[in-house]
Amino acid sequence: MTMRRHEAGVSGARLAREDGVALIIALMAMLLMSALGLALTLTTNTETRISGNYRSGVEAMYAADAAIERVMQDVLTVPDWNDMLWDGQNNCCAGAVTSSFTDGPPFGVRQTAAGPIDLTQATNMVRCGKVTTCSDLDMNNYTEYPWGPNNPRWQLYAYGPMEEMIPTNTINSQMYVIVWIADDPAENDGNPLVDGSTADNPGRGVLAMLAHAYGPNGVRRVIEVTIAKTDTTEIERGYTGQRGQDEQNRRARKAAVQTPGKTLSQQSFNVGQ
């Protein structure tokens, strides 16, 4: 009788010591499930951001491309390309002639989905890589371009919200685009404010065009284009034929875009981040 009571007491004590095991197991299971849920949430958010950034990047690239196409139509109407390269006074931000696609004066801050964009600082950045005023020495030594005195002096030509690019207001985009124009840096006359100072200059009738598209979350895409006048006039006015196999096939049968007495065509373009 005494032995049974002792065994019962031992079993009861052992059971008492195991009362919290179920709680500990439940807490560990909840911790594990919480960790898995948190990992799944982070993965989902990361994938969502990646896809959103990719979409914004593609949209920004198309916006920069569209800005080039839009601006080329304005370039067609400029008889003297030098008017786009120099403002006739202090060569601050834009040439004497600019595109019809602008949202105000060629300076100041614009509030965009990408944050505030200062047009003067943006121009300085593409000219010499800093936001402060660029001197001739700064632009000549800018390592982004290797042509020294012939380095481009980018001039603001077009700028504004993508959704205002056409008057119908049918573009649904938060992108802000800026287009600069400069003398072709391959020229050798040492005068980047004049389109070929001599008639025999190899860069005469050739300009460079730079388009930036800015979007949400710091998205930015860049397209740099070289445009040139040619002597042929046997073409369809307004035809650009720059990209796509079908356009290339049609371009093989026709020349490029026509200007009064000459034509305008894209020779090359570079794409960057």
d(CA 251, CA 233): 14
Q: What is the C-alpha R_g of the chain?
A: 31
Q: What is the pLDDT of residue 161?
A: 94
* pLDDT mean over 170-192: 88
Q: What is the pLDDT of residue 169?
A: 76
Whether residue 180 contacts residue 222, with contact meaning beta carbons closer than 8 Å, is answered with no
Burial class (CB in 10 A: 0-12, 13-18, 19+), 169: exposed
| N-term to C-term CA, the chain | 89
HSE-CB at 205 with a 13 A cutoff on CA atoms is: 15
Whether residue 230 contacts residue 256, with contact meaning beta carbons closer than 8 Å, is answered with yes
Model confidence at 117, pLDDT cuts 50, 70, 90, reads very high
Which two structure tokens, joined as six digits, stand for 36?
């898995």
d(CA 98, CA 78): 9
Model confidence at 92, pLDDT cuts 50, 70, 90, reads confident
Whether residue 191 contacts residue 91, with contact meaning beta carbons closer than 8 Å, is answered with no
**Taking 90 as the threshold, does the pLDDT of residue 272 lie above it?**
no
* pLDDT mean over 68-84: 90
pLDDT digits (tens, 9 = 90+) for 19-57: 667 777 888 888 888 888 888 888 777 777 777 778 888
Q: Where are the domains of the chain?
A: 2-45, 62-272
The mean pLDDT of the chain is 78
Residue with tokens 């026709």: 254
